[in-house]
Structures are given as structure tokens and as C-alpha cells.
Amino acid sequence: MARPKSEHPTELELTILKVLWEESPLKVREVRAALSELGRPLAHSSIITTLNIMVDKGYLKRKPQGKLLLFSPVVSQANVSKKMLGDVVDRVFDGSAGAVMLRLLETADLDREELLELRKIINRRAKEELP
């Protein structure tokens, strides 16, 4: 039985997107080398198959360069992260962004600089909300 189609990239697809967001366009062998460096060694044919599936899903575009193909992301990291985070907020936290923030603050290991930056953002947002 086939796995139901996901509206989000799979773990491997997301790893490939991260590689291509860092540097693109890349050839198949360059994607394969990057995945190997990340501890995901895969057969050349498996990578080609995955890249082609990602093109079909609209995540990537391919451009011929001689006999080779170059792959680039079509979707931005900001767009993918927004959709994936939105899904978590809706499904796990019943749409409450505040509940997500509270859970993150309770469980994340934030350093002083990160906490100060969050405080600035919260203070700015609070001022925007005041009448």
C-alpha cells in the first residue's frame, strides 16, 4: 500500500532542499557528495529518482547543461518552514502560537543573546498591539 501524499517535504527531501538552499544549482553528483558528507550516502540512482520526484512536486527545477542536469530549489526556506511550522501549530497546539512559544521557552536551551533578542521582539510586538 502506498504512503499517503504529504503536503510537506519528506526528511530526505528536506535535507536535499537544505543542501540546495546553501548552494545551487548543483549536479546530481554534487548533491550526492553533499548528502554523503551529511551522513546520508545514497546510490546515484536513488538520488536521481528523489530529485525527479521533487521536480514533479514543484520543490525543484532542473536545467540541462550538456549531458548533465542542474537542480535548483523553486521553494524558499522561509516558505517551507512557514508551512511546516503552521502545520505543527494547527495540529499539535490547536492553532495557538502562544502555546508554541511557551513550550519552546520551557524546553529550548536558549543563551542570553537569544533571550534578549526574543525580549526585544516581544516588547516591539506589545507596543504595536497597544491602542
Give me the chain's average pLDDT, please: 91
- Whether residue 59 sits in one domain with residue 16: yes
Given a cut of 80, whether residue 2 has pLDDT beyond it is: no
Instruction: Provide the 8-state DSSP code for 3.
Output: P
CA–CA dist 125, 97 (Å, integer): 14
Residue 66 identity (one-letter amino acid): G
Containing structural domain, residue 15: 11-73
| Cα–Cα distance for residue pair 57/45, rounded to 1 Å | 18
- pTM of the predicted model over 0.85: no
Last residue of a domain, one of 48, 73, 98: 73
Helices 28-37 and 11-22: angle between axes, nearest 10 degrees: 110
pLDDT tens-place string over residues 86-121:
999 999 999 998 898 889 888 888 899 999 998 999
Q: Are residues 60 and 100 in the same domain?
A: no
If pLDDT is split at 50, 70 and 90, which confidence band does 25 have? very high
CA distance 2 to 53: 15
